[in-house]
Amino acid sequence: MKKIMNSAENVIDELMEGFVLAHNKYYLKHNEVNGIIFKEKRAGKVALVIGGGSGHEPLFSGFVGRGLADAAACGNVFASPDPNTIYETAKTVESGEGVLFVYGCYAGDNLNFDMAEEFLVDEGIKTAHVRVWDDVVSAPKERIEDRRGIAGDVFVIKVAGAACDEGYPLEKVKRMTEKVRDNTFSIGIATSSGQLPGVNKPIFELESDEIEYGMGLHGEPGIKRTKLAPADQLVEILYKNLMEEAEIMKGDEVCVLINSLGATSLLELSIIYRKVHELLSKDQIKIYDSDLNTYCTSQGMGGFSITILRLDEDIKKLYNKPCFSPYYAKEEVK
């Protein structure tokens, strides 16, 4: 796979530089560390700080904005940011009401965010965190804390951002964010590998006529490899697994996100959604909102995930608040 880049050791610096230059209307970069900061400083609210490894853009930096996160702490490619980057980024946007961290559940992120929280707590700053673990096939339900965070990050960040902007205190923001996390479920397949900048081979090997169920965002092995099948068949299998895990029932109301990992096109996402819509309708599950997009990516990887968010009145109210970033915008659903 061809990569447009200069040198491997400069990719993160040049990513930060270009990203902030392009969006300087909204963002600035922290002076010392790789933190993307929303320019509209919003006082009197809990600061929402998100983050993780780089290379999944627009996640996480593109989810900094109005009604969304106040800042994103960015690591090297596919590696958690260090505690100092997280700490400094959070310090910049904290305004007295504390900080909520939202990030995907991975060993590296858990360790580094925990340590950054300790630094903040030592200074008397209130903190909390919610780890996103929406990938239902990455571990069994009994070990839910071993599950990984994938495209479900989008719904969790959206609702957490709205809760912060409502001016809720830290405890309540955390509770609402946990609730949306606990009602967000994803499942996906990979069709082809991406390639990391500076590494002259694909992240994983997959035959041209094969797909892998449940493969992770960093090429973590999934649960099953099979031949490619028609879209409707793939969706039926994924849908069945997802619904069993999510325990979504007739009469429930949901939001749906079909996320492309990078190489899968909107044409394909639409074909996928068509079948998801048919299956949800057949099961008499109400669709409140849908999104077909490329939010959570993996350096040119092919494949997609289906994410379902089960709504209740609290979550719906927050989901319905408008938000804006250059990569994610929602109007009130009428």
Partner 1 sequence: MMEAMTAENAKEMLLYVADKIIGEKDYLTQIDSTIGDGDHGIGMSGGMKKVKEKLENQDFDDVYAVFAAAGKSMLMSMGGASGVIFGSLYLAGAKNMSMAAEISAKELAEMKRKSLEAIKERGKANVGDKTMVDALEPAVIAMEENSDKSLLEMLTAAEAAAQQGVEDTKQYVAKFGRAKSLFDRAIGHQDAGATTVWLIFQGMREYIEKHDGYKV
Among 79, 237, 279, 287, binds partner 1 (CB under 8 A): 79
Using DSSP, how many helices (H) and how many strands (E) does the chain show? Answer: 8, 14
Q: Which of the ranges 70-78, 158-166, 255-263, 287-295 carries the binding residues for partner 1, by CB under 8 A?
A: 70-78
Q: Which C-beta is closer to partner 1: that of 204 or that of 319?
A: 204
Q: How many CB atoms lie within 10 A of CB 165?
A: 21
259 touches partner 1 by CB under 8 A: no
76 touches partner 1 by CB under 8 A: yes
How far apart are the two ends of the chain, measured CA to CA in Å?
A: 44
Q: Evaluate whether 35 touches 20 at the Cβ level (below 8 Å).
A: no
Shortest Å, Cβ 260 to partner 1: 22
CA nearest neighbour of 98 among 47, 64, 49, 51: 47
195 touches partner 1 by CB under 8 A: no
Residues 217-236 that bind partner 1 (CB under 8 A): 218-222
| Alpha helix segments (H runs only) across 123-265 | 153-165, 170-182, 231-246
31 touches partner 1 by CB under 8 A: no
Q: Which C-beta is closer to partner 1: that of 199 or that of 229?
A: 199
- CA-based torsion, 271, 274, 280, 282: positive or negative: negative
107 touches partner 1 by CB under 8 A: yes
CA gap 114, 107 in Å, rounded: 11
Instruction: State the catalytic residues.
Output: 56, 218
Among 75, 188, 194, 302, binds partner 1 (CB under 8 A): 75
298 touches partner 1 by CB under 8 A: no
How many chain residues interact with partner 1 (CB under 8 A)?
A: 27
1 touches partner 1 by CB under 8 A: no
Among 85, 127, 177, 191, binds partner 1 (CB under 8 A): 85
Q: Which C-beta is closer to partner 1: that of 79 or that of 228?
A: 79
Peptide bond into 326 cis (omega under 30): no
CA gap 172, 302 in Å, rounded: 38
Do strands 127-132 and 286-293 pair parallel, antiparallel, or not at all (unpaired)? unpaired
286's CB contacts (< 8 A; 6+ apart) are: 251, 252, 253, 254
112 touches partner 1 by CB under 8 A: yes
Residues 113-132 that bind partner 1 (CB under 8 A): 114-115
Residue type, 193: S
Q: Which C-beta is closer to partner 1: that of 83 or that of 161?
A: 83
CA gap 111, 147 in Å, rounded: 15
20 touches partner 1 by CB under 8 A: no
Q: Which C-beta is closer to partner 1: that of 27 or that of 78?
A: 78
Token readout for 62 is 């593109």
Interface with partner 1 (CB under 8 A): 53, 75-85, 107-108, 111-112, 114-115, 138, 146, 199, 216, 218-222
